Chain A
Amino acid sequence: MLQVMMKKQLADFTIDIQFTVENNILVLLGPSGAGKTTILRAIAGLLRPDTGTIIHNERVLFSSTARTFVPPQFRHVGYMFQEFALFPHMNVRKNIWYGVKQNDNKAKELYERLLGLLHIEHLTTRFINRLSGGEKQRVALARALMAEPAILLLDEPLSALDSDTRLELQAELKKIQGIWKIPFVLVTHDIAEAKALGDQFLFLEKGRQVARPAFRPSEFCQCQSIELA
């Protein structure tokens, strides 16, 4: 379980948010510039909140009162960036293995399993500039999962894809979350995508949680809103 309670002053507004994610998919939904990516960066340790706490299964990742800040490399938080951030000077295989600490049989098994699950066996020797958008997305997901994260953050993972690939990958993301059973925090501004993927929802506007989204509220009247932590 991931518990986040944070405040962070930005140029135009202050992010002031608290939420809890069980081992399922929380969707952060809101217009561009609402502070969604900032929240993901804070959970990953790439940015320091002004105040608050970030706790995963009783392990304190950040606490302003206890002056705790675990650096990103020790957090075991996987992060799929919006444009995937795959390393252009490495092939697919090297990208996927980048986060592996011990090259043992267990890692090899996981690698083979991920290649199969994500249908990317034929891509391992290719360089990143020779991949399509959908292939990049799969490789980025494999790379994040290969590092055996305890939490996975996804920043608009499907926004760069065409609608057919998007539907296919939505199903795969859902399936993978079912297998891995770790908290996924997914950012999107696409309501259809949020509905397809989310177990919990959090609507954001200018850094704060709102009960209902100000944009197209009717779409969400059936959805269960997240409980406040």
Chain B
Amino acid sequence: MEWQPVLLSLKVALSSLIFVFIFGVAAAYSMRSFEFPGKSALEALFALPLVLPPVVTGFVLLVLIGKQGPIGQFLSESLHTQIIFTPYAAVLAATVVAFPLMYHSAKAAFEGVDSNLEDAARTLGSGSWRVFWTITMPLSWSGLVAGLVLSFARALGEFGATIMVAGNIPGKTQTIPLAIYFAAEANDLTLAGAYVLMISGITFFLIFGLNIWSKKRCGKSSVKGVF
């Protein structure tokens, strides 16, 4: 068994998690704080990668970052580079498909924060940033962690969009799900099974570990485990 797909999958999932967290939290907080025309349409757009088949998301990304696509052209003209069929494209695919999970978890977590607490902080002299960092974030932390875990698991298991934009280049863009598919297609069920055990084990221990951590951390207050 090659370890490269395992390491690449972890790298891609963790890198995408950084973007997913920043964009998901920023989008959820902005949607809660501001009213503007077209808000419902934007919310529907945010949910699209969750409900569309990943291959469709992958196709849209392919059109955007392909050599003739607007983003692809911009990258090659201004930065003399391409991300199509590179690990960066795998990160982009994982980010886009995992984003709705983080966005919805963060939105639910923020909505669960009593707005009186935020108002109280404002009357005590705090501006929006301080209210966000000292009240909103800490009180929605368990929901945000749940969103991170779901997004990580989704990014780790991403197949359809990844194969469209990153392809299946062993040693370069082949992640665990792609390795499983191509091993099974080549009738090497032992290898496919080994990767299946690997990805299941990683996901299980991640959620198990997080539950133990969150119970310990939140032992004094009434917050329960993440899952």
Interface residues of A (CB under 8 A from B): 44-46, 71-79, 81, 83, 85-89, 98-99, 101, 127, 129, 143-144, 147
Interface segment out of the listed B38-46, B123-131, B188-196? B123-131
Contact call A147/B117, Cβ cutoff below 8 A = no
Q: Choose one: A74, A81, A101; the contact of B119 (CB below 8 Å).
A: A81
Contact call B125/A81, Cβ cutoff below 8 A = no
Q: Choose one: B114, B120, B135, B220; the contact of A79 (CB below 8 Å).
A: B120
Residues of chain B lying within 8 A (CB to CB) of residue A74 = 125
Contact call A89/B122, Cβ cutoff below 8 A = no
Contact call B222/A85, Cβ cutoff below 8 A = no
Main secondary structure of the interface of B (DSSP, over half): helix
Contact call A83/B116, Cβ cutoff below 8 A = yes
Contact call A89/B221, Cβ cutoff below 8 A = yes
CA distance A88 to B135 in the complex (A): 9
Contact call A129/B221, Cβ cutoff below 8 A = yes
Interface positions, chain B 101-149, Cβ under 8 Å from A, are: 114, 116-117, 119-127, 134-135, 138-139
Contact call A72/B122, Cβ cutoff below 8 A = yes
Q: Nearest chain-A residue to B218 (Cβ)?
A: A89
Residues of chain B lying within 8 A (CB to CB) of residue A87 = 117, 120-121, 135
Contact call B221/A73, Cβ cutoff below 8 A = no
Residues of chain B lying within 8 A (CB to CB) of residue A77 = 123
Known contacts A87-B135, A127-B221; A147 and B119 CB within 8 A of each other: no
Residues of chain B lying within 8 A (CB to CB) of residue A99 = 124-126
CA distance A144 to B123 in the complex (A): 9
Q: Choose one: B126, B127, B222; the contact of A129 (CB below 8 Å).
A: B222
Q: 20 pairs across A/B with beta carbons < 8 Å? A: A44-B119, A45-B123, A46-B122, A76-B125, A77-B123, A81-B116, A81-B120, A85-B114, A87-B117, A88-B139, A89-B221, A98-B121, A98-B126, A98-B134, A101-B125, A127-B220, A144-B123, A144-B124, A147-B123, A147-B125
CA distance A71 to B114 in the complex (A): 20
Contact call A73/B125, Cβ cutoff below 8 A = yes
Main secondary structure of the interface of A (DSSP, over half): loop
Residues of chain A lying within 8 A (CB to CB) of residue B134 = 98
Q: Nearest chain-A residue to B138 (Cβ)?
A: A89
Contact call B222/A78, Cβ cutoff below 8 A = no
Contact call A79/B221, Cβ cutoff below 8 A = no
Residues of chain B lying within 8 A (CB to CB) of residue A89 = 138-139, 221
Q: Choose one: B117, B125, B221; the contact of A85 (CB below 8 Å).
A: B117
Residues of chain A lying within 8 A (CB to CB) of residue B135 = 87
Residues of chain B lying within 8 A (CB to CB) of residue A44 = 119, 123
Given known contacts A44-B123, A46-B122, what 6 new A-B pairs fall within 8 Å (CB)? A72-B123, A73-B123, A79-B120, A88-B117, A89-B138, A143-B124
> CB-defined interface of B73-102 with A at 8 Å, one 1/0 digit per residue?
000000000000000000000000000000
Q: Choose one: B114, B117, B119, B138; the contact of A46 (CB below 8 Å).
A: B119
Min distance, Cβ B135 to any Cβ of chain A, angstroms:
6
Contact call A73/B220, Cβ cutoff below 8 A = no
CA distance A73 to B222 in the complex (A): 30
Known contacts A85-B117, A88-B139; A78 and B123 CB within 8 A of each other: yes
CA distance A147 to B120 in the complex (A): 12
Which of B119, B126, B135 has its CB near the most chain A CB atoms (within 10 A)? B119
Residues of chain A lying within 8 A (CB to CB) of residue B120 = 79, 81, 85-87
CA distance A89 to B141 in the complex (A): 11
Min distance, Cβ A55 to any Cβ of chain B, angstroms:
18
A-B CB proximity, top 10 nearest: A99-B124, A85-B120, A79-B123, A72-B122, A85-B116, A89-B138, A73-B125, A147-B124, A81-B116, A46-B119
CA distance A87 to B114 in the complex (A): 10
